[in-house]
Amino acid sequence: PSILRDNEEGSESDIGEKNNQPDINWEELGFSLIPTDYMYAMKCAKGEKFSQGTLMPYGNIELSPSAGILNYGQGIFEGLKAYRTEHGRILLFRPEENALRMKIGADRLCMPSPSVEQFVDAVKQTVIANKRWVPPPGKGTLYLRPLLMGTGAALGVAPSPEYTFLIYCSPVGNYHKGGPLNLKVEDKFYRSISGSGGTGGIKSVTNYAPVYTSTTEAKANGFSDVLFLDSATGKNIEEATACNIFVVKENAIFTPAIDGAILPGITRKTIIDIAIDLGYKVMERSISVEEMMNADEVFCTGTAVVVTSVASVTYKETRAEYKTGPEMLSEKLRGILVGIQTGCLEDKKSWTVQV
Closest to ligand COI by CB, 170 vs 342, is 170
Least distance in angstroms from the C-beta of 148 to ligand COI: 14
Count of residues interacting with ligand COI (CB under 6 A):
5
- Please list the active-site residues: 203
Instruction: Decide: is 242 part of the binding site for ligand COI (CB under 6 A).
Output: yes
Exactly one of 53, 68, 180, 302 binds ligand COI (CB under 6 A); that residue is 302
Instruction: Decide: is 303 part of the binding site for ligand COI (CB under 6 A).
Output: yes
CA distance 43 to 22: 30
Least distance in angstroms from the C-beta of 105 to ligand COI: 12
Q: How would DSSP label each residue in 183-236?
A: EEE-SS--SS-SSTTSSTTTTBGGGTGGGHHHHHHHHHTT-SEEEEE-TTTS-B
Least distance in angstroms from the C-beta of 112 to ligand COI: 22
Stretch that binds ligand COI, among 148-156, 179-187, 298-306, 319-327 (CB under 6 A): 298-306
Exactly one of 76, 122, 304, 329 binds ligand COI (CB under 6 A); that residue is 304
Helix (H, G, I), strand (E, B) or coil at 313: strand
**Phi/psi class of residue 162: alpha, beta or left (left: φ > 0; alpha: ψ in -120 to 50)?**
beta
| Nearest-10 Cα torsion for 301, 305, 308, 311 | -110
Instruction: Decide: is 306 part of the binding site for ligand COI (CB under 6 A).
Output: no
Exactly one of 22, 79, 159, 335 binds ligand COI (CB under 6 A); that residue is 79
Stretch that binds ligand COI, among 123-131, 164-172, 299-307, 332-340 (CB under 6 A): 299-307
Closest to ligand COI by CB, 37 vs 225, is 225
Closest to ligand COI by CB, 40 vs 175, is 175
Closest residue by Cα to residue 41 from 83, 79, 95, 5: 5
Closest to ligand COI by CB, 315 vs 351, is 351
Q: CA geometry: angle at 150 spanning 95 and 127, to 5°?
A: 30
Closest to ligand COI by CB, 223 vs 315, is 223
Please give the residues from 143 up to 182 whose contact with ligand COI meets the rule CB under 6 A.
none
CA distance 156 to 146: 26
84-88 LR contacts (CB < 8 Å, sep 24+):
84/134, 84/135, 84/136, 84/137, 84/141, 84/342, 85/137, 85/342, 85/343, 85/344, 86/137, 86/342, 86/343, 86/344, 87/343
Stretch that binds ligand COI, among 103-111, 297-305, 315-323, 332-340 (CB under 6 A): 297-305
Stretch that binds ligand COI, among 3-11, 274-282, 302-310, 315-323 (CB under 6 A): 302-310
Instruction: Decide: is 95 part of the binding site for ligand COI (CB under 6 A).
Output: no
Closest residue by Cα to residue 98 from 126, 83, 77, 82: 77
Closest to ligand COI by CB, 44 vs 304, is 304
Least distance in angstroms from the C-beta of 304 to ligand COI: 3
Contact between residue 145 and residue 78 where contact means Cβ atoms under 8 Å apart = yes
Residues in touch with ligand COI (CB under 6 A): 79, 242, 302-304
